[in-house]
Chains A and B, each alone.
Chain A
Amino acid sequence: MTSPSISTATHVDGLVGPGFPHRRSRLAGRFSRRFVLTQFAGSACALMFVIVVNFFLFRVINPHPERTLGRGKARTAEDLEEIRRRLGLDESLWMQFGKYLKQVFTGDFGVSFQYSKPVPDLIGERVWPTLLLVLPATVLSIWLGSRLGSRQAWKHGGRFDRSTSAFATVLYSMPEWWLGLLLFMVFAANPVFGVFPIGGLHSPGVAPMSVEGVADTIWHLVLPTTTLTVTYLAEYSMIMRSSMLDVMGEDYLLTGRAKGLSDRQVLHRHALPNARLPMTTLIALNLAFTVGGAITIETVFSIPGLGLLTSEAMRIPDLPLLQGLFLVFSAAVVVANMVANFIYALQDPRVKA
């Protein structure tokens, strides 16, 4: 319970007092009530903002959704009036907003035009493939990217650094879906090298829940996950490299060397923990772009997740579904940001947690 890192932290954040006599677990004890409350309140405000933007987008920018919906079908004035009434568009904007809030908080997002299914059910079904794609890709790219970036910075200016940095910059300028198309053309569609499936998540005739089915799903995910990992890796390695270079000029590294630590020890004990700090914040900010990657890559590899659902919903356009998806994506990023703040506080004892 009293590992040195905790005791330093409690001294720094100044919360050692009668109110906080015991800390039971490492995690629970690490955060003060105030920090937790601030984090939750901040995220709640951000969520509220997202909810308002969502309303604004779908009701204010587009004051006549019935025309978009009716495209070709509902032409007569009576038809349009009927749709307006059904959607509640004949009421005042404030009434509509009130109704919308009630819908959001009761989880009622309407019925998808395209699938004739309640939007939350549809999103619930399709969320798993997306998580299966995005989570491994994010974890892998952060892990590999920070290793690559710190190695580049540690020997900066060397041959390894110059070649891999140039490569990362090119990858950074590449649309991730174009890389996906390239890999698709070579390793899926090509008759010679095309060992991977051309899309989807399961082969026909394989039970998804069997051992064989799991292996089959993993096989389907190799190309899309590789695409996402490689593009994100470029970005994370660039971030890690520059934050590592910032750290490398610091005096405590010199102190470490002066007291006789080896190069490796200086790197692992003093340089890396400090270089990781800005990484956490930037990873959180990047998550908003990760969502975009899911949309394009799922479209390229026809993975039946939220991303493919989005690009299908745009074509119709399936407004209730789109509204639900937008809310889910934004909420996911808000929550992920909050988690990142907690992780940051764990990593940096100077943060008043």
Chain B
Amino acid sequence: MTTAPAPPRRSSARALRWKLRREAWGRTWAKFRANRAGMVGLAVLLVFAVIAVFAPLLADSHELRVSAASGPILAPPSRKYPLGTDDNGRSILTLLIFGARVPLLVGLMATVISMVIGTIVGMASGISDGWAGTVLFRLTEWFIVIPFLPLALVLATLLGGSLLSIIVVIGITGWPATALVIRAQTFSVRERPFMERARVLGAGPWHLMSKHVFPNVLPLVFANTTLTVAGSVLAETTLSFLGFGDPTAVSWGTMLNAAFGTGAVSLGAWWALLPPGICVIVVVLAFTMAGQALEDIVNPRLKEGR
């Protein structure tokens, strides 16, 4: 009886915190729902995600094998092949459906790597005043200067062309921009009174970062993630177009590589060029629109700029 009051009070504080968090997410969602471009982007992404996940149900994976291809070579769209066939006689529509998997998977996984590195480096360089912060900042700046595509190509050449190495390559070349954004946000969080309070109470840098800075930069991390996926999808497509990545995996980039390399483009086979390209543009555009909508909510000052 006498010990009862203590635990409820603690749990009520936690409950309150969760309630506040839930409310904050609810508010963000309500604002996001009001943003038309953001909702369109989200809907498009859901459609592509469903296509990628349920690809085996939507098309026959046997048709992907060059040896099993039965269609005529580079035939224009017809009733049997709604988007025509490629240079091996495979249906472009089937390739397009299965080709959604690699860009989305690589885009998401690479972004996870970029976000983890970028967030940690950005927070660490923003919170430490000493030489460590300076070194991390300089490192970020130098990495930004290194041209992305040559670096990615060199890494891809050295690591070999598997799906995993492409993910790693795009992930570790994409973090500096995120690090700069997170660093700037960390600076503004650092000056707030609750940080001083925590510091006075003896919080170390790790505690400050994980308990105070991180929750405050998290919304920005989410907005940035969505924008970074757009870049990662573009990077995957470009690397596959230049002939990197798993040659047996079907992706929109490898389809375009084949269309260029085998002369389908020179022959005017527009059905080999337009569908994969338009898919890339639509997915990248959708991520960009959703990301900008999130960014507008997280950082309302930016809204004027769009």
A residues with a Cβ closer than 8 A to B are 45-46, 49-50, 53, 57-58, 61-62, 68, 169-170, 172-175, 177-178, 181-182, 184-185, 189-191, 198, 241-242, 245-246, 249, 285, 287-289, 291-292, 295-296, 299-300, 310-311, 314-315, 317, 322, 325-326, 329-330, 333-334, 337
Q: Are A182 and B146 in contact (CB under 8 A)?
A: no
Give the secondary structure class of B's interface. Answer: helix
Q: Are B243 and A314 in contact (CB under 8 A)?
A: yes
A residues within 8 A CB of B230? 173
Q: Are A178 and B277 in contact (CB under 8 A)?
A: yes
How far, in whole Å, are A315 and B146 apart by their CA atoms in the complex?
22
How far, in whole Å, are A175 and B241 apart by their CA atoms in the complex?
10
Question: Does residue B224 face the partner (Cβ distance < 8 Å to A)?
Answer: no
A residues within 8 A CB of B285? 169-170, 173
B residues within 8 A CB of A185? 265-266, 268, 270, 273
Q: Are B238 and A177 in contact (CB under 8 A)?
A: yes
Which residue of A has the minimal Cβ distance to B138?
A45
How far, in whole Å, are A271 and B96 apart by their CA atoms in the complex?
47
Contact of A326 among B139, B151, B281, B305 (CB under 8 A): B151
Q: Are B260 and A181 in contact (CB under 8 A)?
A: yes
Contact of B280 among A46, A68, A178 (CB under 8 A): A178
Closest 6 A-B residue pairs measured CB to CB? A292-B149, A242-B305, A173-B284, A291-B147, A173-B285, A288-B147
Q: Are B150 and A292 in contact (CB under 8 A)?
A: yes
**Interface with A: B60-68, B153-161, B203-211, which one?**
B153-161
A residues within 8 A CB of B111? none
Q: Are A175 and B150 in contact (CB under 8 A)?
A: no
B residues within 8 A CB of A58? 154, 158
Q: Are A242 and B306 in contact (CB under 8 A)?
A: yes
Interface residues of B in 102-140 (CB under 8 A from A): 138-139
How far, in whole Å, are A225 and B244 apart by their CA atoms in the complex?
25
Contact of A46 among B145, B256, B268, B281 (CB under 8 A): B145
Q: Are A189 and B288 in contact (CB under 8 A)?
A: no
Q: Are B305 and A333 in contact (CB under 8 A)?
A: no
Q: Are B243 and A173 in contact (CB under 8 A)?
A: no
Interface residues of B in 267-282 (CB under 8 A from A): 267-268, 270, 273-274, 277, 280-281
How far, in whole Å, are A178 and B272 apart by their CA atoms in the complex?
12
How far, in whole Å, are A333 and B148 apart by their CA atoms in the complex?
11
Q: Are B281 and A174 in contact (CB under 8 A)?
A: yes
B residues within 8 A CB of A246? 304-305
How far, in whole Å, are A289 and B146 apart by their CA atoms in the complex?
9
Contact of A49 among B142, B149, B243 (CB under 8 A): B142
Contact of B267 among A45, A175, A189, A291 (CB under 8 A): A189
B residues within 8 A CB of A181? 256, 259-260, 265, 273, 277
A residues within 8 A CB of B280? 174-175, 178
B residues within 8 A CB of A170? 281, 285
Q: Are A57 and B155 in contact (CB under 8 A)?
A: yes
Q: Are B147 and A289 in contact (CB under 8 A)?
A: yes
Question: Does residue B234 face the partner (Cβ distance < 8 Å to A)?
Answer: yes
How far, in whole Å, are A58 and B153 apart by their CA atoms in the complex?
12
Question: Does residue B40 face the partner (Cβ distance < 8 Å to A)?
Answer: no
B residues within 8 A CB of A249? 304
Contact of B150 among A46, A169, A172, A326 (CB under 8 A): A326
**Could you name 6 residue pairs across A and B whose Cβ atoms are closer than 8 Å?**
A46-B141, A53-B146, A174-B284, A175-B234, A288-B147, A289-B148
B residues within 8 A CB of A314? 153, 156-157, 242-244
Question: Does residue B237 face the partner (Cβ distance < 8 Å to A)?
Answer: yes
A residues within 8 A CB of B142? 45-46, 49-50
Indicate whether A292 sits within 8 Å of B305 (C-beta atoms), given known contacts A182-B277, A185-B265, A189-B267. no
How far, in whole Å, are A189 and B237 apart by their CA atoms in the complex?
23
Q: Are A57 and B144 in contact (CB under 8 A)?
A: no
B residues within 8 A CB of A190? 268
How far, in whole Å, are A334 and B147 apart by their CA atoms in the complex?
10
Indicate whether A337 sits within 8 Å of B145 (C-beta atoms), given known contacts A175-B234, A185-B268. yes
How far, in whole Å, are A246 and B303 apart by their CA atoms in the complex?
11
Contact of A322 among B154, B237, B273, B306 (CB under 8 A): B154
Per-position binary interface string of chain B over residues 227-257, scored 1 when its CB falls under 8 Å from any chain A CB and 0 otherwise: 0001000100110011110000000000010
- Contacts A61-B155, A322-B154 aside, 17 further interface pairs with beta carbons under 8 A come to A49-B139, A61-B159, A173-B288, A174-B277, A175-B241, A175-B277, A178-B256, A184-B265, A287-B147, A288-B146, A292-B148, A292-B149, A296-B241, A311-B243, A314-B156, A322-B157, A334-B145
How far, in whole Å, are A40 and B223 apart by their CA atoms in the complex?
36
Q: Are B150 and A310 in contact (CB under 8 A)?
A: yes
Q: Closest CB of chain A to B111's CB: distance in Å?
A: 16
B residues within 8 A CB of A315? 243
B residues within 8 A CB of A61? 155, 158-159
How far, in whole Å, are A58 and B266 apart by their CA atoms in the complex?
37
Indicate whether A326 sits within 8 Å of B154 (C-beta atoms), given known contacts A181-B256, A182-B273, A185-B273. yes
Q: Are A329 and B306 in contact (CB under 8 A)?
A: no
Q: Are B149 and A295 in contact (CB under 8 A)?
A: yes
Q: Closest CB of chain B to A328's CB: distance in Å?
A: 9
Q: Closest CB of chain A to B178's CB: distance in Å?
A: 14
Which residue of A has the minimal Cβ distance to B238?
A175
Q: Are A310 and B260 in contact (CB under 8 A)?
A: no
Q: Are B288 and A172 in contact (CB under 8 A)?
A: yes
Q: Closest CB of chain A to B184's CB: distance in Å?
A: 14
Q: Are A317 and B157 in contact (CB under 8 A)?
A: yes
